[in-house]
A = this chain, B = another copy of it.
């Protein structure tokens, strides 16, 4: 189900995850399609960018359009018109969202729909049932996520409940071929993180996600936790760092042994005028780009850079033309995809640490022509 084909001295891996819908080459970045759409793009464009997998949100889709609608279409793949791998998040992450979250009990999490304020109890069993009915390729367990800075007692309780819920998820009914990933908790406490990972590995899952990070803790703390988690987690299972992050954070996490990533950053930043380049982050809305006939990034082979200048995209953004946001999104997702390819190459050549320094430093521009 998951083969590791190469390991760099740093611990970074190249692998292949086999799902019911195909192969996901890792390290893999997944675009986010919370509502069943990668914002501003068609799936033809997303597939053309080379992505093997995306992540949607089971609980958000359960609220709208509802499971009946998606089942009538033949499942989430058919409903969306995307035949490659689909991960679904369980909804656990919405516990950090005041517009969703109400309260937690041993039974599950009580949510309010932000659409109509209706009340919904999400249990480990119902979260698996929802993802089963959606037909996602990779399901995520319901975890008990607590805010950054929670007390030691609260973190311990979260780890223990996350373990019990993960077991209930594993025992719940699901279809053949659907993979189930567990999520470790434990905040920034090394002992609790180890305890969480050990307990989940003992139950046994198809993959392991690191949850409850990138919610406020310092970056070096995150790196340490990731390295420690990678030591504990089985080598023949994919490791998924959820909801993260910037290009440099992702490369850092790959160096720490992580395989799979998702983040709204590239798409959300694009809609807020921010372009990723090997020269750094560019706000294309800024006045300086008004008559800049260069592409967003010289040498980049994405549709936007091959066909349009910074000046044109700047003009569309200023004119509030939706196409401007699409062109920015295409560039940023292409950048992420190329970054994964270059990272893979560096792992294969066992020079990932060097590559990591390069792309974070002043010589990053040597990679510009490699886009």
Contacts and interface: CB of A to CB of B under 8 A. Distances in A.
Interface of A: 35-44, 64-65, 68-69, 72-73, 79-81, 290-291, 293, 303, 307-309, 311-312, 314-316, 318-319, 321-327
A293 B73 CA distance: 6
Contacts of A325: 322
A324 B35 CA distance: 11
A65 B322 contact: no
Nearest to A271: B322
Contacts of A326: 40, 42, 322, 326
A327 B43 CA distance: 11
A326 B35 CA distance: 16
Contact of A316 (B37, B68, B307, B324): B37
B69 A315 contact: yes
A18 to B, nearest CB: 25
Instruction: Give the top 6 A-B pairs by smallest Cβ distance, nearest first.
Output: A81-B307, A35-B319, A65-B315, A37-B321, A37-B323, A69-B291
9 contacts: A39-B323, A40-B326, A64-B315, A64-B319, A65-B315, A65-B318, A69-B315, A79-B309, A79-B312
A40 B329 CA distance: 13
A39 to B, nearest CB: 6
B72 A303 contact: no
Contacts of A37: 316, 319, 321, 323-324
B40 A81 contact: no
A174 to B, nearest CB: 24
Given A80-B312, A315-B65, A322-B322, A327 B42 contact: yes
Contacts of A38: 323
Given A65-B315, A69-B315, A72-B291, 17 more contacts: A35-B315, A35-B316, A37-B319, A37-B321, A38-B323, A39-B323, A40-B323, A44-B303, A65-B291, A65-B314, A73-B312, A79-B311, A79-B312, A79-B315, A81-B308, A81-B312, A322-B325
Nearest to A35: B319
Contacts of A312: 36, 73, 79-81
A29 to B, nearest CB: 20
A326 B323 CA distance: 9
Contacts of A319: 35-37, 64
A41 B38 CA distance: 15
Contacts of A314: 65
A7 to B, nearest CB: 39
A160 to B, nearest CB: 36
A70 to B, nearest CB: 9
A28 B192 CA distance: 69
Contacts of A39: 321-323
Contacts of A293: 72-73
